[in-house]
Amino acid sequence: MKQSITLGAIAVILLVLYTTTMTSALLPLCVVFVVAFLIELFRKHHTEEIVKPSALTVDDLTAEYGEPDDIILVNATRANEAMGVILAYKDFFVVEGRRIDKSKIQDVTFNNSGTPYTPNEYQVIIVTGSSQNDYIHINTGYDATWTKDVVELIKKNL
C-alpha cells in the first residue's frame, strides 16, 4: 500500500513539474512512474481478487461452519473449492466462502453471460438485500440445463 502511494505521489509531482516547466527531460520520468504506478495498482487488485477466495476448500468450510444439510454442486470442475459448491445449512448458505443468511435472499435466477463475440459461462445470480453485494454471480459452466437445476436446488433449500 505504501509503495502504491509513493509511486502515485512521485508520478503526480513529476506531472506537475512537467506541465509547469515544460522540460522534455521530465517526460520520460513521468511516463516511467505513471506506468509503474498503474502496474502496481493492477497487480495488487488482481491478486487480491482471485487468490483469496479460491484458497478455501470444502474441508476448510465444513471445519469452520460444521457439517452442511446439503451440498449443491455448482461447477463440477471446481468441486472441492469454495467457488464450485454452495453449502446449505438450516438458516444460511455458504457461497464462495461467504456466509449469506437465507432471510436476506430476495431472488435466485440465472443468466447467460455470453455475447455474440464471447462464449462466456452461464451464471447463477443470487439477489440479496445487502448494500455491499446486491448481486452474487456464480459461474456454473456452459450448460443451461445444469444451471437451471442448480437454481432449483437453491430455491428448494430456501
Q: Which residues pair with 109 in a beta bridge?
A: 125
For cell 521530465, what's the residue? 26
Model confidence pLDDT, tens digit, residues 43-78: 655 544 443 444 578 888 888 888 889 889 998 888
For cell 446449505, what's the residue? 88
Of 128, 129, 124, 120, whose CA–CA distance to 152 is shortest? 124
Output the pLDDT for position 64: 85
Average model confidence (pLDDT) across the chain: 77
Give the pLDDT mean for 132-157.
Answer: 87
Output the pLDDT for position 152: 93
* Predicted confidence (pLDDT) at residue 24 exceeds the cutoff of 80: no
